[in-house]
Amino acid sequence: MEETQPSEFQFEIEQVFLFEDKGTAISGLVELGIIGAGQAIDIHGLHARRHGKIEAIMIDGERVDEVEAGFVCTLLVTELTPGHVGPGMLATHAGGERHKELRERVPRQYSPLAA
């Protein structure tokens, strides 16, 4: 069995929004790595993986080309609906590791937003 390479990007989804005619926005903390607009990502749930593409990245209301670990941001993602994603799911580079493997290797270093 071939061993998978560690993901270069990990983002835990805290909130999900739908922007009509624009796509689904997911917000949270970038825990690991760097991601840029135009890149493909995977969204990992406990039992499923969805695919999307980052159309835009926002930090504090400003559009940026990329974001790195330690920043709270919002990613506008196409090819997904809010029914496909939810709080607690993880986003990785396309082909990144599964939810459980990421959680075991990188401990959470922040508290989730209050409900």
Predicted confidence (pLDDT) per residue in 11-59, tens digit: 989 999 988 777 899 999 998 899 999 999 999 876 778 899 999 999 9
pLDDT value of position 37: 95
The beta strands (E) that lie in 20-98 are given as 23-36, 40-44, 49-59, 62-64, 66-68, 72-78, 90-93
Burial class from Cβ neighbours inside 10 Å (0-12, 13-18, 19+) for residue 84 reads middle
Token digits for 15? 């909130």
In CATH terms, the fold of domain 9-105 is Elongation Factor Tu (Ef-tu); domain 3 (2.40.30)
CA distances from 4 to 31, 75, 95, 110 (A): 19, 25, 9, 27
Range with top average pLDDT, 16-25, 61-70, 106-115: 61-70
Token digits for 69? 């670990």
Task: Give me the percent of the chain exceeding a pLDDT of 90.
Answer: 41
**Which is higher by pLDDT, 48 or 66?**
66
* 25, 57 contact by CB (below 8 A): no
The lowest-confidence range among 16-30, 63-77, 79-93, 99-113 is: 99-113
pLDDT value of position 101: 53
